[in-house]
Amino acid sequence: MDLDVRIRHITEGDWDDIVALEAATYADGALSEGRAALRSRARSSPATCFVVDVGRQLAGYVLSLPYPVGQYPDLDREEEVVFHSRNLHLHDLVVGEAHRGDGLAGELLRRVTTAARAKRYQRISLVSVGGSEGFWSAHGFHALREIALPASYGPDAVYMSMPVAADPRPHRRNPSTIRRADHPRMTK
Ligand SMILES: CC(C)(COP(=O)(O)OP(=O)(O)OC[C@H]1O[C@@H](n2cnc3c(N)ncnc32)[C@H](O)[C@@H]1OP(=O)(O)O)[C@@H](O)C(=O)NCCC(=O)NCCS
């Protein structure tokens, strides 16, 4: 599909769309957090939060912020401190229903991973909700079921984590060792 896709940082004018998308996605499962809590997550780490536009429409967002390994935001509370941690917690990633299956979540995750690497995070964690564990596993996250989660995250919530891989860009390596297969085809 030929989509006019753009991933960018969140701006002030995006919040009505983000809040509406979050509410439409999670209201049924009682996981919706509301504007103040969502904004507080992004305020903690603007450099690791993004939206994706398809044409002129906001089609999805991702919020990630530093959190100690094994900890996660309280859905009922705004962030009060910014943690100093080498672990980046991907708190929420949503793609609007009309745009699912087009690879946008994968692109948002790739952008978060690039930002995490640039900021020298060592790991990315998340709490999988709503039966999305398979999606995250496919992207390299491993379940850590020993980490207990509160009921507020829903009955099938699972804490997951993955290491931030080393920079795959060829210029960081000895050119004589680069094989043809080391050059992934860029999608964007
Ligand atoms: C999960 C979500 C972000 C995926 O967005 P998307 O843009 O459709 O994902 P992509 O197009 O990048 O990837 C689609 C692939 O993921 C798979 N996938 C999507 N949702 C999945 C799920 N819940 N479980 C397992 N696999 C899933 C699709 O089958 C597809 O696989 P394929 O490429 O082999 O065909 C989207 O469905 C969503 O916003 N869901 C509601 C919010 C949510 O649950 N977010 C995660 C919170 S932790």
Domain boundaries, the chain: 5-182
Selection from 47, 62, 115 nearest residue 93 by Cα: 62
* pTM of the predicted structure, to 2 decimals: 0.89
- Looking at residue 181, the DSSP 8-state letter turns out to be G
- Tens digit of each residue's pLDDT (9 = 90 or more) over 26-43: 988 789 999 999 999 999
CATH class of 5-182: alpha beta
**AA letter at 103:** G
- Residue 1's pLDDT band, with cuts at 50, 70 and 90, is low
Per-residue pLDDT reduced to its tens digit, 63-79? 999 999 999 999 999 99
CA distance linking residue 68 with residue 89, whole number of Å: 8
pLDDT digits (tens, 9 = 90+) for 143-181: 999 999 999 999 999 999 999 988 766 554 443 333 333
Residue written as tokens 């946008």? 104
Tell me which residue has its CA closest to atom 17 in ligand 1: 135
Ligand 1 atom with least separation from CA of 100? 8
Q: Report the nearest-CA residue for atom 16 of ligand 1.
A: 135
Is residue 112 within 8 Å of residue 92, measured between CB atoms? no
